[in-house]
Structures are given as C-alpha cells and as structure tokens.
Amino acid sequence: MTGRCAFLLMLGALACDRAPRPAPQDLQSAASNADTNAPCKMPTQITNIVERDGAILETWALHSKDVATSQLPKDPAFLSYRAAIERDGANVRRPVADPPVARTEADVAVWRDEQFNNDLAFGGTVGSVNPISCLDALLFSRQATRVSQIDHPTEFLASVLRRETDSGADLVVVFGAGSEMFPPKNVYGFDVVRRFVADGWRYWYAIHNHTVQKNGKLLALGVPAPSTSDVQLYRSLGKEMRMDSLRVTNGFYTFSASVNELGAFRAR
C-alpha cells in the first residue's frame, strides 16, 4: 500500500471513529514546487461526520501543493459575495463600519478592549493582515455556498493540521459550520482534532470568519482580527493541543498570528 493510500484510509478511520509553531508562509513555501497559477479548487477527498439541522462537520484531505496557488476559488457564491462587497467599495484592509452601540458601562469596556486588539492587529504589533490565501478562501467559499454571506451571514470554524512527508506536507482540514450566526458546539470538531494530534499530526492553525457589517446603507467587511472571546478560545487551544497559530478572515483579508503572540491581546 502506498503512503498516500494509507494516509487516506487513516483519515477515514479517524473521521468515522466519533464515539462518545511556524509562520503562515508554510503553504507559500510549497509554491516553488507547484503551479502558482493553478486553479484553487476544493479537494476531492471529503469525509462527512455530521450533517443535521443545517449543521455540518467534515474533514478534507489534501496536500500542501494542492493549495500553493495565488488563485482564488471560482465558486459562484464566493464570487457573488466579493462582487457585492466591491460594489459598495468595502474591500478595504481595515473595515469602515457603523460604530457599535454601547448601552452600559460594561459594553463600553468590551468595545474598548475590542478596539485595543484591532489596533494591535492592524498596526502590525501582533501578527499580520494579508489578502486571503487559496485554502482559507476555500473554507470561506464552502460556507458561502451553503448560506449566503450577504443575506444571512454565518461563521464557520475550521482546524488545519499538517504532517510532513517525503513529498511535502499532507494537510487535514476539520470544518464545522451551521445555518445560524454561530456554529453549534457539536460541530466545533475539537474531538476529531485531538485524535489527529494524538496520531502525530501538528495542529497548524484554527480559523474562523467574521461576518459582514453595515456602513450606513452600504456593506462593510467583518473585522479580520480576533475578538476578546476569540483570544480566550485560541489561548486554550494552544495550551491544550499545542496549536501553532490562529487566523481570522472575512473573505478578502486574513489576520494570522502565532499563539505565542496572543499575550499582547486583551481577552474575556
């Protein structure tokens, strides 16, 4: 049995068994051995774990070279989303949106901390904000295909694991999403991630999206930076499962940082 076949069989076994620190440029380093103008396409090896009440949990198996392209997906839902944002002139690195409504002193404190974190992210003090990559765009596109990210914005949550081989890095994506604003906890997929980590896979990064906002009558992108509650979650994943890094995307731009940088952020 070839190593690749063994990998795919192992993936199916881990995914179906559901009983009760490096930089983001790792993918880009594969570009020297790949066609950077190749199409950005969904992997063919997808294993469904949960599909119930509008929620899904699935794993993808692929090779790093499969997504080492400068291209983005051509899926109609993804292109429609980007076109709507561009029509409103909202495709800017730091989104311009209506200010949040703070009704209490506690609300004021929360939004002050959110602004503090955003300033660190966009100022380059923590991590970086860059145009979205092929793999992260495929994740966003997967959810946009399920639910319109303009008409009914929703968040997904994905974990990306990697393992080095003689031919480069194999990747596994654990993707969870629902049909409401936030995915239900039963599709977070962390139990699946734990099994891969126990089998020797490296927890490369976790990623989720921030949804569209309003700027008066116009659309505004979600902020590609971790919220105070995101920071708390990512710190715990780094501590429990040695997750290397985190990302937050809005379908145009993605924030990325190592878990070790999270100490500068405020959390709740």
**What is the Cα–Cα distance from 163 to 42, expressed in whole angstroms?**
20
User: Which uninterrupted H or E stretch holds 77?
Assistant: helix 76-87
User: Is residue 59 a contact partner of residue 173, using CB atoms and an 8 Å limit?
Assistant: yes
Q: What is the pLDDT of residues 205-249, one digit of tens each?
A: 999 999 999 999 999 999 999 999 999 999 999 999 999 999 999
Write the single-letter amino acid at 175.
F
Write the single-letter amino acid at 70.
S
- Confidence category of residue 104, pLDDT binned at 50, 70, 90: very high
Q: What is the pLDDT of residues 249-267, one digit of tens each?
A: 999 999 999 999 999 999 9
The DSSP call for residue 221 is P
Residues shown for the chain: 268
Share the mean pLDDT of the chain: 90
Examine the pLDDT at 27 and tell me if it is beyond 90.
no
